[in-house]
Structure formats: structure tokens, C-alpha cells
């Protein structure tokens, strides 16, 4: 039996095999990663966490406890997602119909991932402003901006909730 120490003592675990056969991150035998989900880099999934659909967990991200990451969610960087409400995915949003993921990071911070862009609420607000670098074409720019303003409003509520934990 293979074990891995997720920081709480060794537990039965295995390296996840990603779609396509590449070796992924560590997954405790109590956690579940299935479907087309990917766990890569130094990412770790443990406890009773579930990752499925086309979700991606990468970098130094930790998904554990009662967390559920699914759909097209992207949890990356120094994410520390350990509750069901530590990740929020909204979509389709904007001109490219992206699914936007907001997740908790180590130290109680946050990261927003929208396609290849990632950053904070303040950075997203600056990007979608009238003089921001959004590159939206034509008359629908206001519609796309309102989409992202709604994402920001939801993210602000969730991030305040994390600060109370």
C-alpha cells in the first residue's frame, strides 16, 4: 500500500492518472477524482473531496475536506479549497462564453480564473473598465462588462464569507 503525508500524517494515497495517461498529483484513497478531471503539478486532493467533470486542479493547490470541484472549474496556484463554498464557478460569461472560477487561496485570499486570464477582483475590475484591456468587439461590450460586473459582485460576497471563517 502506498501512503502520502498530506500534512496530517501518512494516509493511503495514489498518484492520479490524468486523461491521456500523464501522471498527476496526489489523491488520498478517501477522495475521488473521476471523469475527465485533471490533477497536475504538486496539487493534492484528500479528505472527502470530490473533483469531477472537466475540472482542473494544478499548481500547489489543495482540495480537501468537504470541497467539491466540478464542471469546468479551474483551481490553481496556492489554492486552499476545503469547504464546498470555497470555490464558485459561473458561466458562460463574456464574449468568449467562459466559465469563471473564484477560489480561496492559502491565507484566506482569492484567485479568479477566466480562460487564460487570472487575477484578483481589483484586477478584474480594472480589466473590464471602459479603458481596460478587454478587447471586446462592437456593440455588445456593455453586455459583456455587465456579465463580469455580476461575477465581481458574487465573488465579493463569497470572499467576505471566507474572511469570517
Question: Can you list the residues of the chain whose pLDDT is less than 70?
Answer: 131-133, 164-165
Instruction: For 30-66, write each residue's pLDDT tens digit.
Output: 999 999 999 999 999 999 999 999 999 999 999 999 9
In this prediction, residue 157 carries a pLDDT of 95
Distance CA 62, CA 6 (A): 9
List, in order, residues 6 or more apart from 150 with CB less than 8 Å away. Answer: 90
CA-wise closest residue to 12 among 38, 34, 33, 30: 30
In the chain, what are the domain boundaries? Answer: 3-163
Cβ atoms of 60 and 25 closer than 8 Å: no
In this prediction, residue 135 carries a pLDDT of 74
Is residue 111 classed as helix, strand or coil in its secondary structure?
strand
CA-wise closest residue to 59 among 71, 74, 72, 70: 74
Q: Is the pTM of this model over 0.75?
A: yes
In this prediction, residue 133 carries a pLDDT of 66
Cβ atoms of 162 and 156 closer than 8 Å: no
Amino acid at each position: 500500500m502506498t501512503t502520502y503525508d498530506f500534512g496530517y500524517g501518512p494516509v493511503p494515497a495514489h498518484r492520479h492518472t490524468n486523461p491521456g495517461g500523464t501522471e498527476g498529483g496526489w489523491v488520498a484513497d478517501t477522495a475521488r477524482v473521476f471523469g475527465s478531471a485533471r490533477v497536475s503539478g504538486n496539487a493534492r486532493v484528500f479528505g472527502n473531496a470530490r473533483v469531477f467533470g472537466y475540472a482542473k486542479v494544478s499548481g500547489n493547490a489543495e482540495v480537501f475536506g468537504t470541497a467539491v470541484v466540478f464542471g469546468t472549474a479551474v483551481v490553481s496556484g496556492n489554492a486552499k479549497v476545503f469547504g464546498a463554498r470555497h470555490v464558485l464557478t459561473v458561466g458562460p460569461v463574456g464574449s468568449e462564453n467562459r466559465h469563471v472560477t473564484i477560489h480561496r487561496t492559502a491565507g484566506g485570499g482569492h484567485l479568479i480564473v477566466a480562460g487564460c486570464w487570472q487575477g484578483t477582483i481589483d484586477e478584474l475590475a480594472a480589466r473590464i473598465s471602459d479603458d481596460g484591456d478587454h478587447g471586446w468587439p462592437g456593440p455588445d461590450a456593455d453586455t459583456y462588462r455587465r456579465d463580469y460586473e455580476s461575477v465581481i459582485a458574487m465573488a465579493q460576497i463569497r470572499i467576505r464569507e471566507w474572511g469570517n471563517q
